[in-house]
Amino acid sequence: MLTRLAPFLFVLLWSSSFIASKAGLRDLSPLLFVAIRMAGCAAVLVVLMLVSRQSWRPLARWRWLHCAVAGASLNAVGLMAPHVGLLLAPAAQIALVQSLTPLLTAILGVVLLHERLRARQWLGLALGMAGVGLVVGHAAFESASRFQGLALAFVGVLGLVFGTLYFGRFCRGVPLLPGATAQFVSAAVVSGLGAWLLETPRADWTDGALMALGWNTVMTSLGGMGLYSAMLARGTAARASANFYLVPGTAAFLAWLLLGERLTWLAIAGLVVASAGCWLVNAGKRAVA
């Protein structure tokens, strides 16, 4: 039962992070929000390493540097840019752009890894790009600042994709806890420097800010990523990828329910088209597997 529910629970946690971030950014500047979140994760993992007396040896021979590069890309660049974008664009639209992650990964898999895609996967790629294009194109005509927000979300996608490919190439053999600790420590350092150098930090320590930080630190970064790692260990990564297309729609529903965000019919059409594209790409992968 847990194996079947795990992908959907991960999707729910991942979608909720957009909503929690949007709420938290009312009281915290975006890069500071990410820096505190990453520092909290790093602190928890370092304590776990010490309490469980885990060995640091798996990070020897420069493997710590590879994990640091992957972590900075995945958890710093992958979060910092879209968090700034959340100040300029609705959470659902930011989530839609982030749904390009599996599509772009599939394209790079063809180019760099010489993987083969079926015809329906190519159709899915085209639909996914078209769906995002509908929303981004509409945003460009509607508001320059909203377009900038979505462009920043795409920078986050590039960070996620690069970090994923880099991790797969250099960090796959590192045990989970030491590897995750190195990744989050690196992300905390990079996002902390970003908050110091790129913005004027702002913090109002309201209950909402603390709840948003707590949720995204414990439930999303630690719980969600831990759940994803467990799915990988049990061989359910294909199912998780196949359900990734649910993220934009789930985020849109949560944003409407909790934040009162409204979507135009064109944005809804973009969500539907992009979701269908993601499903076709990932369903094709599952069929091949």
**CA 143 to mean position of chain CA atoms:** 25
pLDDT digits (tens, 9 = 90+) for 45-97: 999 999 999 999 999 989 999 999 999 999 999 999 999 999 999 888 888 88
- Residue 153: per-residue pLDDT: 93
Question: Rounded to two decimals, what is the model's pTM?
Answer: 0.85
Q: In terms of residue numbers, what domain contains 99?
A: 2-288
- Beta-strand ranges (E) seen in the chain are none
Mean pLDDT over the full length of the chain: 83
Cα 97–99–105 angle (5° rounding)?
110
Q: Give the tokens for residue 120.
A: 């329906």
Domain count across the chain: 1
Tokens of 210: 């603390």
* pLDDT at res. 286: 47
Q: How many CB atoms lie within 10 A of CB 198?
A: 12
Whether the pLDDT of residue 223 is over 80: the answer is yes
- The H or E element spanning position 71 is helix 63-71
